[in-house]
Amino acid sequence: MPSHDILIIGAGLAGQRAALAAAQTGSSVAIMSKVHPVRSHSVAAAGGINAAINVADDWRSHAYDTVKGSDFLGDQDAIEIMCSQAPAEVMHLEHIGVTFHRNESGELDLRAFGGASMKRTAYVADITGQAILHVLYEQLMKHHETVDRYEEWFTTSLLQDDDGRCCGVVARDVRTGRMETFHAKNTILACGGAGQAYRPTTNALIVTGDGIAQAYRLGAPLMDMEMVQYHPTTLAENGILITEGARGEGAVLLNSEGERFMEKYAPNKMELASRDVVSRAEQTEILEGRGVGAERSGIWLDITKVPRKRTLEALREIVNIGKDFAGVDITREPIMIQPGQHYIMGGVKTDVNGATSIEGLYAAGEVACVSVHGGNRLGANSLLDTLIFGRRAGEHAAARAATIGMPRATDAQLREDSATIDAIIARDRNGSPTRPRRVSEIKQELGDTMNKYVAVYRDQGGLEQALEIVKRLQEESKSAYIDDRGTVFNQDVLGALELGYMLDCAQATVVAAIERKESRGAQFRTDFPKRNDEQWLKHIDISINGKDPARPGGGGVGGPQISYSPVTITQWQPEERKY
Amino acid sequence: MAEINGSPPGAAEKFTLRLRRFDPESGEAPYWDEHTVELEPHRSVLEGILQAKALTDGSIGIRCSCRAAICGSCGVRINGEPGLACHTHLDHARASAAADGVIEVEPMGNMPVIKDLIVDMDAVHWKKVQRVTPWLIAKQPVPEREYLVEKEAMVDVTQSMACIQCGACVSDCLAMEVDPGFIGPAALAKAYRFVGDPRDDQQDIRLTDLAEDPQGIFDCTHCFKCVEACPKGVNPMGQIMRLRRIAIGDQKIVDKNNGERHEAAFTTLVKDFGLLNEAELLPRSYGGNSWFGKFHPAAGKVLLSLLGVTVKAVMRGKMSPKLAIFGHKLPKQDLDAVKKIYEKIESREERYELNLYITGYDEPDETPVPVAAAASSGEESPAAPDTEGSAN
C-alpha cells in the first residue's frame, strides 16, 4: 500500500505548486490526477496573472481592487497575503522558466485587466495558464525522483480515521480499473471547481466538483457556494472562453444598436469593470431586446480596435478560437459572445494555510474557498490564488507531516467503493420499475437547470424550482445506467461518479443562493436587488454531517445545514461599488 | 457582417462516424463501429463522438477535456490524418472522407493503443520529452527580479511553448516509424524551447547532446509531416532545423553522426551544381566535402554498404548510371541565379527565422497605426512575412 507524507489530489497549478513546495522540505510527496497533469483545466487560463511588480504599483492597491471586486465578501487577511506575496511568486515562476512577455527594456510586460486600478497582469501571449502549467510540469519531471506521480488515477473517496482525521484516499487506476488504498499524513485537494454542473460552461469536461463533494461528504463545510462567476465573453453555442485579455488590449462591447453600452453601467472602467458588473450589463441589454444575433441573445465583442499585429502576437489563441469555433476572423470583424458560467468563488472552506476543518485535509485553488474572491473574482487572480495557496498548503502540510506518524487505514472504504462501482456497472436499464435514465441525460438536465435558474439573475421562485429539480435528479442518479461493462478506461462509470459530485455541488449552490437574500457580487437576486451589509456581510457555510458516526446524525445522513462565518475586515470598510 | 455570424448556425445535419474500436479485455482484434450523429456542420468531430457516447454508446473510449484545442487530450487520426478531434469540423472531415462520406476516426500512430481511440503516450511521447532534459537550467546568479531578456527572444520561444503535447506530430512522424528511438518532433521542439531561451545556461551542452545522439536532431528526414499535423502551429520540424542551424552555425558542433558534414555537402552541391547530385552526396558526407571525398575509406565503406540498393535502383529505372556519375547540369544563367541566392543569404548579419508570433507588418489598410509604433514594429520583425501565421 503506497504511503506518503503528503498526497495531492489534482495536478493543475495548485496541485503541482503544492507538490513542488512540499518536496522542497524533504517530505515524501505524491501527486495524483484523473488526467495527465498537463490536461488539467489550469491549462485554459488565458489572460495572465496579477502581481504588483511595477515599481509604481503597490500590493495594497492590488489588495484593495480584489476586496472591491469581491464586493467586500473576500476575507481581507487572506487577500493581503495573496497580494503581498504575488510579486515574489511571479518572479519565482520567471526564474524556473515561464516565458513571460517582456517590454522594450526586457522586463516583464504588464497588461490591463478587469477591475484593476493599473496594469498589473503578467502574461504569456494568451496562453498564460498553459505556459505556467507546462513549466511546473517541467519541474515535476526534473524532480521525478522526489515526487511520485499517479497520472490517470481517479480518487473515489477520502479516508477518515476514528478520530475524524483525513488519512488518505481510495483511488482507481483508470487504465486498469485496479482500486488501491493510499495512506497519507496529509491530503491536499487541488482538483478544481464544478463548472460542468452548468451547461454551457467555459470549463473543461473534467471539472466536475470531485474534491468539493468528497470533502463535503466527509463533513467539511463549503463556503460562498452561491457565488458563481459568469464570464462576460464566452461563445454562445459551446461556452468556449474569449479571454478578458481582449478587452484588456482594447476590445469593446457593442449592442444591437452599435452602442458601447458599458458607458451606462460603468462609466469609468467601461469594459474593464469587474466581471459580475459586465456580465450583468450584457444580460440586461439582452433582456431589454438589444441583443444581437438571430435570437438577440448575444453581444458583439469588437477586437478590430486592437492593432492587428498586436492581436496576432498577444491574442493568438482567440484568433484561432474565433476561426475554428465561430468561423470569425476577429482581427477584421466583431464576434458574438454572451455571459457564460466560468468559475465558482466558493468551495471547501479553508484557512490561509489551506487547512480545512478536517485535520489532515487541505484544499487549494478553485476547489477551496479561503476566501480571496468573495462575491466575485477578478480576472487573473485565479492563477495567483492557485499558486500562492497551493504553495502555502504544501508547506504547511509538510510541517505538519514532520510532527506525526503515518496513519493506518483499513481497506473497508476500498471494498465499499469497489462495490459501488460494480453496482453501477451492473445496473440494468430495464430492470427497475422506475424506468431508469442515462447518466448523460441527467447531467444535461442538471446543466440546463443551473444555467436557467442559478445564473446571472436569480429569484426565489426560480431557485426553489432548481432545488426541486436537483433533488429529483439526485434520486434519479441512483438508478441511472451506463453502457461500459469493462475495467480498462471505463470512462462511463467514472462519469456516473462525477454526476454524483456535481449534484452535491449544485445542491449546495442552490441552497446557499436561496439563503442569501440580497444582491452581492455574482449573486443578483431580482427580488432583493440591493446589497445589505447589515444582514449579509457574512459567509454562508453549507455542510452535511459527514461520515463521523460520533456526530449527531452522522453517517452521511441529513440534508445540507446552513451556518455563517464572519468576513475578516482589516483595512477596507465596505463602501458602494462603482466602476 | 451581422448576417454572417449573427445568422442562426447552419441547421443540424446527419454525419456518420466510423470509429476504430479496440477492447483489450475481449481478446478480439480491433474493429470498425459506425455511429450516426446529428449536429451543425461546423461542430467538431469530438462533439460528434461525445453525442454518440451520450446517446448510444457510453463505452467509446476517447480522452478529452477542454473542447477548445488547448488541453491536448483528443489527438486522433481523422480520415488518416493526425489532429485534434475537437479542432476538426464535421463538414471538413466529411469533405476529406472517402467517397461514402463516412468520417473515419482512428487512434494515433507510433504509440500503442490502450483502448479504442486512447493510446499510451507515456510509453513513447513522455519518455522522449524526459530525454531532452526538459527544464530550464538557469544562468547563475539568479537575479532578484526577472532576468532581463529581449522581448523578441521570449516571443520567439513562445512558439514552442505553445505546444500542447497532444502527440499529433509523434503519431505520423515518418522517421520515428522507421526508427522508434528517434527523439521525435514534439520532444525536440521542447528542446528548442530551452536552447532558444536566453536564460538557459547549457545551450552548448544541450546541442552537443542532441547532435551527437544518433537518434537526435540529425535523425529527422525533413518530411514536413509534423508541420502539417500540428494543430497549434508549433512547426516542430522548423524547431529541429533551428536546433541544427544553431548547432552547426553558431556552436560549430561537428557530430560523429555526420549530420553536420551531410548538411555541408548538401549545401555545397546545390551551390556548385544548382541541383542536388545524389551520387556525390553520401561520399562527401562521409569522406569530406569535396570531389575527393569518395576516395576516403569511410566513404568507401558507406558506398559499399549501399551497393545493393544502388543496383536495385538502377535496374528498376529509378536511377540512371549517367546521372549517378555526372549529376545534374543547370544552364549557366540559372546556376548564377542560385549562386546569387547563396550570396544574399550568406551576406546577412543575422539569420531570419520565421515565427508564428512574429507576424510582420500591419497591413496598410488596417486600423491606422501611429507612426512611431509602425516604425518600431518594422524594426522588430525585419522580414518575417505573414506566411506562417496564415498557413495554420
Tens digit of pLDDT at every position of chain A (579 positions): 899 999 999 999 999 999 999 999 999 999 999 999 999 999 999 889 999 999 999 999 999 999 999 999 999 999 999 999 999 999 999 999 999 999 999 999 999 999 999 999 999 988 999 999 999 999 999 999 999 999 999 999 999 998 899 999 999 999 999 999 999 999 999 999 999 999 999 999 999 999 999 999 999 999 999 999 999 999 977 889 999 989 999 999 999 999 999 999 999 999 999 999 999 999 999 999 999 998 999 999 999 999 998 898 888 889 988 988 888 999 999 999 999 999 999 999 999 999 999 999 999 999 999 999 999 999 999 999 999 999 999 999 999 999 999 998 889 999 999 999 999 999 988 766 778 999 999 999 999 999 999 999 999 999 999 999 999 999 999 999 999 999 999 999 999 999 999 999 999 999 999 999 999 999 999 999 999 999 999 999 999 977 654 444 444 456 899 999 999 999 999 999 999
Note the pLDDT of residue B372.
41
Say yes or no for a CB contact (<8 Å) between B6 and A130: no
What residues have CB less than 8 Å from A328, skipping those under 6 apart? A322, A334, A335, A336, B4, B5
Query: Has residue B4 got a pLDDT over 60?
Result: no
CATH architecture of A412-538: Up-down Bundle (1.20)
Cβ contact B172:B221 at 8 Å: no
Q: Grid coordinates representing A154?
A: 481517479
pTM, whole model, 2 decimals? Answer: 0.92
Distance from CA of A100 to the nearest CA of B (A): 7
Q: Which of B229, B272, B263, B273 is nearest to B243 (CA)?
A: B263
Say yes or no for a CB contact (<8 Å) between A205 and B199: no
> Angle at Cα A4 formed by Cα A158 and Cα A130, nearest 5°?
80
Return d(Cα B374, Cα A356) in angstroms, integer.
Answer: 54
Split at pLDDT 50, 70, 90, the class of B370 is: very low
Distance from CA of A357 to the nearest CA of B (A): 31
Query: Has residue B322 got a pLDDT over 90?
Result: no
Note the pLDDT of residue B274.
86
Q: Counting one residue from A and one from B, how many pairs have CB atoms under 8 Å apart? A: 218
ipTM value: 0.95
Q: Name the 3-class secondary structure at A123.
A: coil
Q: Grid coordinates representing B153?
A: 527572444
Encode burial over A58-87: b for 16+ CB neighbours within 10 A, e otherwise: ebebbbbbbbbbbbbbbbbebbbbbbbbbb
Contacts of A299 in chain B (CB under 8 A): none
Note the pLDDT of residue B390.
35
Show the beta-strand stretches assigned E in A10-111. Answer: 29-33, 49-50, 110-111
Please report, for chain A, the start and end positions of each structural domain, with discontinuous segments joined by +.
232-340, 412-538
Split at pLDDT 50, 70, 90, the class of B379 is: very low
- Residues linked to residue A8 through DSSP beta bridges, in sequence order: A31, A188
| Domains defined along chain B, listed by start | 10-119 (3.10.20.30), 122-250 (1.10.1060.10), 259-327 (no CATH)
Nearest CA in chain A to B367: A307
Distance from CA of B8 to the nearest CA of A (A): 6
Catalytic residues of A: 275
SS3 content of chain A, % helix, strand, coil (to 5): 35, 20, 45
Fold of A232-340: Flavocytochrome C3; Chain A, domain 1 (3.90.700)
- Picking from A231-240, A478-487, B317-326, B329-338, which range would have the lowest pLDDT averaged per residue? B317-326
Distance from CA of B98 to the nearest CA of A (A): 23
- Select from A108, A240, A307 the Cβ nearest to the Cβ of B362: A307
- Select from A99, A304, A334 the Cβ nearest to the Cβ of B154: A99
Note the pLDDT of residue A555.
45
What does the pLDDT average to over B250-263?
91
Note the pLDDT of residue A432.
64
Return d(Cα A219, Cα A213) in angstroms, integer.
Answer: 10
Higher pLDDT, B388 or B207: B207
Say yes or no for a CB contact (<8 Å) between A304 and B367: yes
Q: Residue by residue, what is the 3-state secondary structure of A323-363?
A: HHHHCCCCCCCCEEEEEEEEEECCEEECCCCCECCCCCEEE
Note the pLDDT of residue A548.
52
Residue B349, class by beta-carbon neighbours within 10 Å (0-12 exposed, 13-18 middle, 19+ buried)?
exposed
Higher pLDDT, B150 or B362: B150
| Residue B147 touches partner A, C-beta closer than 8 Å | yes
Return d(Cα B59, Cα B52) in angstroms, integer.
Answer: 10
> Angle at Cα A221 formed by Cα A217 and Cα A225, nearest 5°?
100
Interaxial angle between packed helices A439-453 and A491-515, expressed in degrees from 0 to 180 and rounded to the nearest 10: 20
Contacts of A241 in chain B (CB under 8 A): 68
Cβ contact A141:B129 at 8 Å: yes
Interface test with A, best of B161, B206, B380 (most A CBs within 10 A): B161
What residues have CB less than 8 Å from B292, skipping those under 6 apart? none
Say yes or no for a CB contact (<8 Å) between A324 and B367: no
Count other Cβ atoms within 10 Å, centred on residue A473. Answer: 22
Distance from CA of B58 to the nearest CA of A (A): 5
What residues have CB less than 8 Å from B165, skipping those under 6 apart? A38, A134, B72, B125, B129, B186
Note the pLDDT of residue A168.
97
C-alpha radius of gyration, chain B, whole number: 25
- Select from B63, B151, B357 the Cβ nearest to the Cβ of A103: B151
- Residues linked to residue B39 through DSSP beta bridges, in sequence order: B13
Say yes or no for a CB contact (<8 Å) between B68 and A138: no
DSSP classification of residue A378: P
Q: Grid coordinates representing A525?
A: 437576486
Show the beta-strand stretches assigned E in A117-178. Answer: 121-122, 147-151, 153-160, 166-173
Unique residue bearing C-alpha cell 546541442: B207
Cβ contact A41:B65 at 8 Å: yes
Return d(Cα A66, Cα A46) in angstroms, integer.
Answer: 19
Note the pLDDT of residue A176.
97
Residue B341, class by beta-carbon neighbours within 10 Å (0-12 exposed, 13-18 middle, 19+ buried)?
exposed
| Residue B16 touches partner A, C-beta closer than 8 Å | no
Q: Grid coordinates representing A300?
A: 458583439
Note the pLDDT of residue B317.
81
Say yes or no for a CB contact (<8 Å) between B68 and A35: no
Split at pLDDT 50, 70, 90, the class of B9 is: low
| Residue B347 touches partner A, C-beta closer than 8 Å | no
Contacts of A485 in chain B (CB under 8 A): 59
- Select from B7, B66, B150 the Cβ nearest to the Cβ of A106: B150
